[in-house]
Amino acid sequence: MLANVFLKTVRDRWLGWMIALGVVWSFVLLGFAAYSDLDLSILATFPEAYRTMIGLRPGMDAGALSIAAIYGTYGSLTFAAMALAMGAASIAGEERKGTLGLLLANPRSRTHVYVSKVAALVVLTIFATAVMWAISIGTASMMDIALGDLDVMALNVHMLASTLFYGLLAVAIGAATGKRGAASGISTGVLAVGFLGAGLLPLIEGGEKWAKLFPWYYFNGSEPLYNGIEWGHIALLVGAAAVFAVVGLIGLLRRDLKGQSVGVTIIDRLRENPMTKKIADRLAGSARVSSIWLKSASEHQIALVSACSYVFFIQLMLGPFYNALPKEAFEMLAQLPEGLEVLFAFFGGGDMSTPAGFFQIETFGMMAPIMVMLVTIAISSAAVAGEESKRTMGLLLANPITRSRVIAENTWAMVFYASIVGFATFAGTALGALIAGLDMSMWNIAATCVLLTLVGIVGGALALAIGAGTGRKGAAVWGATGVMVALHVLNSIGSVTDGLSFLQRLSPFYYYLGNDPLNKGMDWGHPVVLTVIAAVLIGISFPLFQRRDIRQRD
């Protein structure tokens, strides 16, 4: 029953956090295995600035690099993403599903529900970061990995503060607006832009003061893994999170709650304009839901705008930013000893001293696929499982619409949106390269963006198949995300481990960047493989949905 909102929220969300823990731990474990064979003795002859740039400190075993390079990046991003997803769903998600009214129908005030949701977020975050610290230390001990002077506890304290910052930012936006898409989209944008801004600006002379404008700087700017806890940064992040919590409560108490599915879509805005009303009416169809794909597209417009804005403007800025970097940094990168390419493997690999390698490691290797799959997994998980979780699938199928058509039209919406994000990535990269005068082939950029679009569609197709087979939106979102992350790790490890190189071909990410398309152009077998994988996953979605009883309750 709903006697305890706090326990209900923990019960609903604990599994997602456990999956996130498993994903991050697998990253660290594989990193330990990949880095443990490296011989770092050659680095003793290099300047101190070089060793500092690639994250080496006295007393470190090579395997400990997985803590700095993987745990401190992938781990913190994964936990922040979990928190902001949970925060966006806390109030705005309940309104979207039409269940907040049911919660408040019990003898519970808005304040009680809000505080219970926030408390659940805080408790799960503390639990996850504490467990992650314990299993990382334990795994290093079992594998005989020397962590030297690394302060893993300090890194976890900073990770906790950072995670709460993004989670409560999403809670505040969702509670004040009632819009889950705005809460997740804005929070994700702040996270993604801050990650790149705080990471790249300090490389430019005088840029560190500007990096302090980004919240991510206060997570890792003081290098807590080496220097211990920076309490001023912790106070700033936790203080901001507390302010967000108060702002969210005030916003929730002062506004009318939204009913289920209330919102203004692109079509609604076009209908308000006399010049576009007729076109909008034809596109939208009748009340009998004649255009399911357009309905799905309209419902995920914020995710699309957020992803496109990020990839376009970040790619646009990376070109001039590359020219602004000191040439000494590239000279040191050119001297990277053989075997240390493993340091960049988890970010897509590549030669950082070249424009193509810089773009690949900074965005194409990790952030660009995340942005595409943010859109494709969102649409695909909502296509079947989302409608069932909202209890609207029965209403949809009450129209003269077959189950096959639901799958087919949502697939078209997913592919259409993935293509838009892919084009935005191409436009930003091409313009950034032209503005900066970089020697990059437009055809190779286009080939990479086509492959990026296809790997995003594979992630969306996987979410569609899971949702069609289970009827559970959470399983579709986190199942697809977890599998794609695991496949990315598999490709990364295979790319730097000779004995495991065959495993790369089991991962769709190998067919994305494995041929180095930014430098070598398109290997036409790779888009064929990605297309076949996506087609198979979409194909099995039809019989999975056809043969299953529709879920009537979560």
User: What CA–CA distances, in Å, run from 204 to 112, 331, 453, 481, 506?
Assistant: 48, 15, 32, 34, 39
**Which residues have CB under 8 Å from 318's CB, separation 6+?**
358, 359, 362, 363, 429, 432
> Taking the CB of residue 244, how many other CB atoms lie within 10 A of it?
24
Residue 375, token pair as written in the block: 């859109």
pLDDT of residue 280: 57
**Residue 315 is encoded by which pair of tokens?**
């790619």
The stretches in the chain having pLDDT less than 50 are 1-2, 42-43, 45-54, 260-263, 283, 285-289, 337-339, 554
**Which amino acid type is present at position 440?**
M
Whose CA is closest to 261, among 413, 410, 436, 386? 386
What backbone phi and psi angles, to 5 degrees, belong to 276? Answer: -115, 5
From CA 355, how far away is CA 368, in angstroms rounded? 16
CA dihedral of residues 87, 90, 93, 98 (deg, nearest 10) = -170
Residue with tokens 């997803």: 85
C-alpha span between 308 and 314 (Å, rounded) = 10
Residues 6+ apart with CB under 8 A from 142: none
Cα 294 to its chain centre, rounded Å, is 25
The pTM assigned to this predicted structure is: 0.71
Encoded tokens for 290: 């004649």
Contacts of 239 (CB under 8 A, 6+ apart): none
Q: CB 313: neighbour CB atoms within 10 A?
A: 14
CA atoms of 99 and 5, how far apart (whole Å):
12
Residue 89 structure tokens: 């769903």
Burial of 246 (0-12, 13-18, 19+ CB in 10 A): exposed
d(CA 375, CA 297): 10
**Beta carbons of 248 and 266 less than 8 angstroms apart:** no
Under 8 Å CB-to-CB from 222, ≥6 apart: which residues? 158, 230, 233
- Determine whether 540 is exposed, middle or buried from the number of CB atoms within 10 Å of its CB (0-12, 13-18, 19+): middle
Nearest-CA neighbor of 72 among 238, 237, 221, 232?
221
pLDDT of residue 273: 67
Whether 448 and 514 have beta carbons less than 8 Å apart is answered as no
3 state SS of 149:
coil
Tokens of 107: 């003898």
The CA-atom distances, in angstroms, between 547 and each of 404, 405, 542 are 11, 15, 9
- DSSP character string of 192-237: HHHHHHHHHGGGSTT-HHHHTTSTTHHHHTT-HHHH---HHHHHHH
CA distance 221 to 252: 34
Burial (CB < 10 A; 0-12, 13-18, 19+), residue 393, is buried
From 378, 327, 375, 376, select the one nearest 352 (Cα to Cα). 327
**Residues 429, 457: Cα–Cα separation, whole Å:** 20
Q: What is the C-alpha separation between 245 and 252, in angstroms, rounded?
A: 11
pLDDT for 286 equals: 46
* Secondary structure (3-state) at 250: helix
Q: What is the pLDDT of residue 39?
A: 55
Directed axis angle between helix 76-88 and helix 110-142, to 10°? 160
